[in-house]
Amino acid sequence: MFDKNLLSELQPYRCKIYAIILADIVLAGVIIARCYYLADIINGMLFFQLSLQTAVPQLVLLFVLFLAETGLGYGIHAVTHSISVGIRRRIRRALVYKLSESSPLSSIYDNTDLLPLLTRGIDSLDAYFAQFLPQMIVTVVIPLVILPAAFYCDWISGFIFLLTMPLIPFFMILIGKKAQVENNRQWTALSRLSELFMNLLSGMSVIKVYNQTKNQLKKAVDTGELFSQAVLRVLRIAFLSAFFLELIATLSIAIIAVNIGFRLLSGQTIFLAAFFILLLAPEFYKPLRQTGSMFHQAMDALTNSPKIYNLLDDKITKEQFCKKKIHLDSAPCIVFTGVGFNYNANRENVLRDINMEFAAGKVTALIGRSGAGKSTVFSLLMKFAKPDKGKILINGEDIGTIATDSLRENIAYVAQRAYIFNASIRENICLGRKVNAERLQKAISAAGLTKVIAAMPQQLDTIIGDDSRKLSSGQMRRLSLARAFLSDAPLLLLDEPLESLDSITEKVVKEGIRQLSEGKTVVIIAHRLASIKQADAIYVMDRGKIVEHGSDSELKRNKALYYKMVNSTMEGSLI
């Protein structure tokens, strides 16, 4: 019912919470006064010939009390809503920051709950902060304020209030435990359904090629049916809970009404006291009844809270604030000293005792068979991963001490297959940066995209990345080059930029890379001979180690692994 992580979010709002408690105490007093004055007016009209004209002051006061009650309720709701908005905004920002700082290799991106948590999961916290917790305060404050008034007016009715009051929370807790279990099952079913849809959409071409559409459709329908059943089970418990809570409250009010009726007939109490207690009884049980329904609305928040805080529980959100900034005015020198790395502590190292240097202003090539560790070197340079041992120095500075954002501002990366966003060509090249038209046009021209864009329907404003318009592999590579030209960073990382290109496109891309590499430190992951011919230094990797390094001519004279790879190539490919 109470979550320590969610309750800790209330610390900055203590003053507002105290104000809510005070407002609820005042609200309870207004309710008591409103019930008393209404009972007094009816009593006067029935037994003391109170006329409407004479009762005007009391009616005006009663109207003021109604207004005060409504105003207090609205004010409490506004304050609790502002608290809920503030907490959800902080959590959403923390999650977004966590995602932006996390490595793309992190398991956080494999979490199928990620999208539901960022959307529906965080929004579900509103029911907890804006409804359930305020209702719990009301449930504690109002009955405790009303109870002394009931004892003072009629101690027997007050005693019945006291005896029946624990019944509603008791049954709510019993039913709530079962509801929590079913709600967890509902969320699990939703996660499975989300995961299934993501897998089906990403593998749609494979499903169609192997003629498995009907089978997968049946699987989706069955999984959707399981989710529907889980939702219905939660709703059934919610309706049963509401029924029992209303029944208990109604029976309690009935007991009080019957008891007061018999005593009123026998002359053991007066009409004013009896009617006042009858008006007070529904107000006494109302918060208790409402708590049950509010609890069911807050169930999603209690289910999602552990998942949200498991994502937030990471050092990465704390470390970035204490790291230094870096700005490289010229091509940097990068040195790997005894670097070791593994994605899984229980497996063999991906990189083992790597020592190498990427000289400033030079082109260095990394070659090796698939799985040798080349891409991992790039991941370490871009801080997508951290070395398990050893250091990576950039101009003598350990990159572990440099803020991630600051480091990446000095890196341009051309991937083997550039990701294309479903947006305009302009947006795909600029990636949110404000760029003047002249600078953008220079980057486009240098990447050999001028004619390609000119042939597009809306040129730079043409939407790409969706099913209506696809780019070829070569065009995507050029677009990636345009991004790199635009950043003009002093460190350039190229992941086999000439892979899968026809001869004409290869020539354009090679020329673009030549221009882009001027005055920069360039590191190339090479699978093709054409990519390493102009390299100043070559490092040959095998099973996570540097097995040899030197220039092309030096490595050929050694007649070791590099020599064997070059002489066994097919169509210019090293692997």
User: What is the tens place of the pLDDT at every residue in 415-435?
Assistant: 777 777 777 778 878 877 777
Residues 6+ apart with CB under 8 A from 255: 160, 164
Q: Hey, what long-range contacts does 531-534 have (CB within 8 A, 24 or more apart)?
A: 531/365, 531/494, 531/496, 531/497, 531/498, 532/365, 532/367, 534/363
Domain spanning 334-567: CATH 3.30.1120.10: no
User: What is the tens place of the pLDDT at every residue in 442-469?
Assistant: 888 877 778 778 887 788 777 776 544 5
Return the closest-CA partner of residue 447 out of 410, 415, 475, 425: 475
Tell me 522's DSSP state: E
| Helical ranges in 48-113 per DSSP H | 56-101
Query: 263 and 269 in contact (C-beta within 8 Å)?
Result: yes
Superfamily grouping for domain 4-318: ABC transporter type 1, transmembrane domain (1.20.1560.10)
Query: 367 and 532 in contact (C-beta within 8 Å)?
Result: yes
Model confidence at 302: pLDDT above 60: yes
| Helical ranges in 313-397 per DSSP H | 316-319, 374-381
State mean pLDDT over 551-566. Answer: 76
Query: 498 and 530 in contact (C-beta within 8 Å)?
Result: yes
Query: Where are the chain's structural domains?
Result: 4-318, 334-567
For residue 531, the model assigns a pLDDT of 65
Query: 400 and 386 in contact (C-beta within 8 Å)?
Result: yes
CA distance 487 to 482: 9
Phi-psi region of 211 (alpha: psi -120 to 50; beta: other; left: phi over 0): left
Least confident of 31-35, 365-369, 456-460, 499-503: 499-503
Return the closest-CA partner of residue 401 out of 326, 475, 332: 326
CA distance 440 to 249: 71
User: Tokens representing 497?
Assistant: 């930029």
CA distance 376 to 323: 23
Residue type, 381: L
**In the block, which residue shows the tokens 């029992």?**
244
Q: What are residue 105's phi and psi, to 5 degrees?
A: -85, -10
- The average confidence (pLDDT) of the chain is 79
